C-alpha cells in the first residue's frame, strides 16, 4: 500500500520503520525536515510538502498536538489533494473537539476519517507492540486492519464515531498521569523513611502492582532519571488539558485533573518541561526536602 505519513517524532519514526519492513511504500513529511530525512536510509520517500502525503492511498497523521494537526490537515491544498476513497487515520493524541471537526470536514469533502490513537512509548512502537484504540466506519476499519497489525499488538474498536477513540485515549492518559503523581508521592514518602526506592519498586511490581506501566514509570522515578524523555512532561500537561476539555464539554467533574494540571504547570515553571513526564515526581521529592538522586 502507498502510505503518506505526517509527523515524524519519536513514535512516528518507529511506526514508519515497521511499515517499511512490512513492504509498504511510505512517503514521509515532517515540519522539521531533518527528522523525516533520517528515514530515507530505511527506504522512505521524503516529501517536501505535506500535500504529497495526501496524494497516497492511505494517510496517517501523528502530529504533536491540536495546533499542528489543524495547520496541516485543514490547509485547503491538503484536503483538495485527497482522492475519493482514501482514508485519513489520525493516530495522534488530539482533543475530542478537534476529532469531531476533522470528522465533519472529511465527510463534507466526501472523504473517510478514522481516529486511532495509541497507547505505548517509543520502545513499544519500535517493537510493534502498541495498543491501538480505533473508531470509524466499519469499511474503513476493515481496510486498516492489516496496517494496524503491523503497528500494534492489539486494536480495540470503540465505535463508528471517530471522536470516541479520542475520549478513550485522553481518559487513559489522565489515568497514567494520576498513577505517576501517586508514584512520585509514594516514593518521596519511602525515601524520607530511609527505604531504598529500588527495594520499594521491586516489592510493588512483584506484588500488588505488577503491570508494565508501574515497572517503567516506577523505574524512572526510583532512579530519578528523566532524560531523554520518552514522552515529554510538557505533553503531559497538554493531555491533562485535553481530558479537562472533554470533561467540561460533557459536564463531568474531574477534581484530580485540576491537581495534576497545577503540578505540571509548576514542573514546567521550574524548567522540567523537557523531562519525561515521570519527572513530575521530582516535585514530590523536592517538597519533602529530598536531594536529587545521584547527588546525595
Whether the predicted pLDDT of 295 surpasses 80: no
Whether the predicted pLDDT of 294 surpasses 60: no
Q: How far apart are CA 278 and CA 263, in angstroms?
A: 12
In this structure, are residues 121 and 230 in contact, taking their beta carbons and an 8 Å threshold?
yes
In this structure, are residues 58 and 16 in contact, taking their beta carbons and an 8 Å threshold?
no
Q: What is the pLDDT of residues 239-286, one digit of tens each?
A: 999 999 999 999 999 999 999 999 999 999 999 999 999 999 999 999
Q: Which domains does the chain have, with CATH numbers?
A: 2-161 (3.40.50.720), 166-287 (1.10.1040.10)
Q: What is the pLDDT of residues 49-85, one digit of tens each?
A: 999 999 999 999 999 999 999 999 999 889 888 988 8
In this structure, are residues 153 and 129 in contact, taking their beta carbons and an 8 Å threshold?
yes
Report, as an integer, the average pLDDT of 153-165.
Answer: 98
Residues designated catalytic: 169
The mean pLDDT of the chain is 96
- pLDDT at position 58 is 97
- pLDDT at position 296 is 43
Q: Cis peptide before 228, with omega less than 30 degrees from 0?
A: yes
- pLDDT at position 77 is 85
Binned at pLDDT 50, 70 and 90, residue 293 comes out as: confident
pTM of the model: 0.94
Amino acid at each position: 500500500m502507498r502510505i503518506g505519513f505526517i509527523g515524524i517524532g519519536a513514535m512516528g519514526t518507529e511506526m514508519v520503520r515497521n511499515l517499511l519492513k512490512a513492504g509498504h511504500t511510505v512517503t514521509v513529511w515532517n515540519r522539521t525536515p531533518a527528522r523525516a530525512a533520517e528515514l530515507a536510509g530505511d527506504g522512505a520517500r521524503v516529501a517536501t510538502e505535506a500535500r504529497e502525503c495526501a496524494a497516497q492511498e492511505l494517510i496517517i497523521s501523528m502530529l504533536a498536538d491540536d495546533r499542528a494537526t489543524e495547520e496541516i490537515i485543514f490547509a485547503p491544498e491538503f484536503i483538495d489533494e485527497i482522492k475519493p476513497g482514501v482514508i485519513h487515520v489520525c493516530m495522534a493524541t488530539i482533543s475530542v473537539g478537534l476529532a469531531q471537526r476533522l470528522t465533519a470536514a472529511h465527510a463534507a469533502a466526501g472523504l473517510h476519517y478514522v481516529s486511532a490513537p495509541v497507547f505505548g512509548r517509543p520502545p513499544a512502537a519500535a517493537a510493534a507492540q502498541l495498543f491501538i484504540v480505533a473508531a470509524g466506519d466499519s469499511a474503513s476499519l476493515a481496510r486498516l486492519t492489516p496496517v494496524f497489525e503491523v503497528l500494534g499488538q492489539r486494536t480495540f474498536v470503540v465505535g463508528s464515531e471517530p471522536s470516541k477513540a479520542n475520549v478513550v485515549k485522553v481518559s487513559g492518559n489522565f489515568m497514567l498521569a494520576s498513577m505517576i503523581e501517586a508514584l512520585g508521592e509514594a516514593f518521596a514518602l519511602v525515601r524520607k523513611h530511609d527505604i531504598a526506592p529500588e527495594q520499594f519498586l521491586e516489592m510493588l511490581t512483584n506484588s500488588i502492582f505488577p503491570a508494565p506501566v508501574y515497572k517503567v514509570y516506577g523505574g524512572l522515578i526510583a532512579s530519578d532519571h528523566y532524560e531523554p524523555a520518552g514522552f515529554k512532561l510538557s505533553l503531559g500537561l497538554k493531555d491533562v488539558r485535553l481530558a479537562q476539555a472533554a470533561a467540561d464539554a460533557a459536564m463531568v467533574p474531574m477534581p484530580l485533573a485540576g491537581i495534576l494540571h497545577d503540578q505540571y504547570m509548576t514542573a514546567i515553571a521550574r524548567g522540567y518541561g523537557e523531562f519525561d513526564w515521570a519527572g513530575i515526581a521530582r516535585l514530590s521529592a523536592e517538597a519533602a526536602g529530598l536531594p536529587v538522586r545521584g547527588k546525595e
